[in-house]
Amino acid sequence: MEKLMYLMIFSVVSIMLTVTSHAKTVVTDGLVSYWTFDEHNINDGTVKDVWGENDATIVGNPEIVHGIDGDAIRLDGFGDYVNLTNLGDFGIHLPTSTFEAWIKTSFKGDWMTLFKVIDPVNELCNIIWGMDLNRTLVPEKRGEQKLGFDQIDSYPYKEGNLLIYFARKHGGNGCNFTAGGWKFQISDNEWHHLVYVKGAEYIDEFGEMWYETALVLDGIWEWKTRTQDLKLEEFMPFSAPVYLGAGNKDGESEGFFRGLIDEVRIYNRPLTHEEVLSNYETGSALSVEPTQKLPTVWGALKARR
C-alpha cells in the first residue's frame, strides 16, 4: 500500500513538472513591477507588487471584481485611482521601457487617463509619462494651431482617440516634449490588452539606428513611430508618484478612469513583438508560481498517508 502511495505521488509530481515545463509564463526579463489586483494580493488598501518592491496604494472606494485573470479593479471615474509610487529608479529607464495592462471600459463621454505623472523638474520643465483615452492634441477645426506642451490643459476630447505623452529635460532648463495620437476602438465593454513600448532598437536599410515607439492592441502593433534622438542623461528617477486610473498633475489627481484594469506590468526595457504576443497569450502566469505550489502539493499528499 505504501509503495502504491509513493507511486501515485511520483506520478502526480511528474505530471505537474511536465505541465509546468510546457506552460507559458509572463516575460520576467526587465520586469520592474507587477500588480495583479487579485484580492489575495490586496491588504487594507495596499496592492502588492508581486514581482518588485513598489507596493501601490488604493485611493477612493473602487471595487475588486472578476477580471481577465483572477480579479481586477473597477474604477468609477469619481475620485478612484491607484498610487503606484515613484517606481524607484524606473524614471532613468523611461526612454527604453514598456507599460502593459488589460483594460475594459465602455465610457465615451469625456477624456480619461489610464496612467500619468507630470513630474516637475524646475519651473520651466516637467518629465511626463502617461496615456489618455478619448483625447487628442489636434484641434477639431482646420486652420487652428496644433496644441503644444504649454497647452496641455486644452487638449480636446475626441471619442476613440488614444494620446500618449512623453517629455524630458533638454539642455539647461528647457523641455523636449512629444505626444502621439492614435484612433482606436477600445470603449466597447470588452477586455483589451494594451501595451506601450518605448525605445525598441531598429536599423533601417541604410544601416542607421532608430528607436521605435509603439502601441500594441491585443497583440497587434497598431501604431509606431521612429526617432534617432535618445539621450539617457536627460532622464532621472521620478520624484512624484505615478497614478493608475488618473493623472498626477503637480500632486493633484485628474482625468479619472471609468472601467476595469487588470494585470498591470512595467518593464525597464522595450519588449519585442514576440514577447508582447507571448504575454498577451499567457495571461498572468509567473514562472515563480509553479515552484511555490509544488511543495504545497507534495506536503498535502504526504499528510494523507
CB atoms < 10 A from the CB of 200, how many? 19
Q: End-to-end CA distance of the chain: give it in Å, rounded.
A: 10
Higher per-residue pLDDT: 202 or 284: 202
Beta bridge mates, 97:
198
* Mean pLDDT value across residues 19-26: 56
Residue 303 resides in a domain: no
pLDDT digits (tens, 9 = 90+) for 218-228: 999 887 777 76
pTM of the model: 0.83
Residue 301 resides in a domain: no
pLDDT of 2 > 70? The answer is: no
Helix (H, G, I), strand (E, B) or coil at 184: coil
* Mean pLDDT value across residues 126-138: 89
Least confident window among 73-87, 158-172, 246-260: 158-172
Provide the number of structural domains found in the chain: 1
pLDDT of 194 > 90? The answer is: yes
Mean pLDDT score across all residues of the chain = 82
pLDDT of 167 > 60? The answer is: yes
* Mean pLDDT value across residues 288-300: 34
User: Which pLDDT band holds residue 34 (cuts at 50, 70, 90)?
Assistant: very high
Residue 261 resides in a domain: yes
- Cell representation of residue 102: 488589460
pLDDT at 264 (0 to 100): 98
pLDDT of 302 > 90? The answer is: no
pLDDT at 275 (0 to 100): 95
CB atoms < 10 A from the CB of 170, how many? 14
Residue 300 resides in a domain: no
DSSP assigned state of 155? P
pLDDT of 281 > 50? The answer is: yes
What gap in Å lies between CA 192 and CA 213, rounded to an integer? 19
Residue 259 resides in a domain: yes
Write the CATH number for 211. Answer: 2.60.120.200
* Mean pLDDT value across residues 184-211: 89
Residue 299 resides in a domain: no
pLDDT of 212 > 90? The answer is: no
pLDDT of 173 > 70? The answer is: no
Residue 266 resides in a domain: yes
pLDDT of 11 > 60? The answer is: no
What gap in Å lies between CA 176 and CA 170, rounded to an integer? 5
pLDDT at 209 (0 to 100): 83
- Taking each helix axis from N to C end, the angle separating 2-22 and 289-303, rounded to the nearest 10 degrees, works out to 170
pLDDT at 289 (0 to 100): 43
* Mean pLDDT value across residues 78-103: 95
Residue 302 resides in a domain: no
Q: 74: domain range?
A: 2-294
**Does residue 109 come out as left (phi exceeding 0), alpha (psi in the -120 to 50 range) or beta?**
alpha
